[in-house]
Amino acid sequence: MPQKRHTVDQIVVKLRKADVKLGKGKKVPEICKLLEVVTQSP
């Protein structure tokens, strides 16, 4: 069964990676796909 929650350490690492990708001009949906997280729907 897949893990449903991320640990604090995992979240921090993913946020740092996302920040780097945003700085390089990637879009949020692309980053979410790369980091294997789901975007929240409106």
Local confidence band at 9 (pLDDT 50, 70, 90 cut-offs) = very high
CA distance 11 to 19: 12
Nearest to 33 by CA among 17, 42, 24, 23: 17
**CA dist list (Å): 4 to 25, 28, 35, 36, 38:** 29, 21, 14, 12, 11
Q: Render pLDDT for 10-35 as a digit per residue (tens, 0 to 9).
A: 999 999 999 999 999 999 999 999 98
Give the domain ranges of the chain: 8-36
pTM exceeds 0.75: no
